[in-house]
Amino acid sequence: DIQMTQSPSSLSASVGDRVTITCRASQGISNYLAWFQQKPGKAPKSLIYAASSLQSGVPSKFSGSGSGTDFTLTISSLQPEDFATYYCQQYNSYPLTFGQGTKLEIK
């Protein structure tokens, strides 16, 4: 199975900050990488697929990059509604696997 490792596991930031979350795959996955946002008690929301393509309706403050084994999610100009847990996921091969999550908290 492909292991997905996110860093950091938690992150404190302020409104207006720009933050970057990284995700590393244990083997190459081309660009078959997605990012999700989840708020407490809610279903995950799809943000990015194919490493850098924004899902419909997702604001351009979210951006993704990377290929192979190393990927990043960048969120610019943080707003209160952006504080949540973020997960990466590879869908290059079965079983699909998720990172452990990065909890983004308000400083």
Return the residue of 21, 64, 83, 97 that touches other proteins, per CB under 8 A: 97
**Site membership for other proteins, residue 103 (CB under 8 A):** no
Q: Cα separation of 59 and 80, whole Å?
A: 14
The answer to whether residues 82 and 38 touch, using CB atoms and an 8 Å cutoff, is no
**Site membership for other proteins, residue 86 (CB under 8 A):** no
Residue 45 Cβ vs other proteins, minimum distance, rounded to whole Å = 7
Tokens matching residue 78:
């943080």
- Please name the residues in contact with 97: beta carbons below 8 A apart, sequence gap of 6 or more: 1, 2, 3, 4, 89, 90
Q: Cα separation of 21 and 104, whole Å?
A: 9
Q: Cα separation of 8 and 23, whole Å?
A: 9
**Site membership for other proteins, residue 50 (CB under 8 A):** yes
Q: Interface mask (CB under 8 A) for other proteins, residues 3-42, using x and -?
A: -----------------------------x-x-x-x----
Residue 40 Cβ vs other proteins, minimum distance, rounded to whole Å = 11
Task: List residues binding other proteins (CB under 8 A).
Answer: 32, 34, 36, 38, 43-46, 49-50, 55-56, 87, 89, 91, 94-101
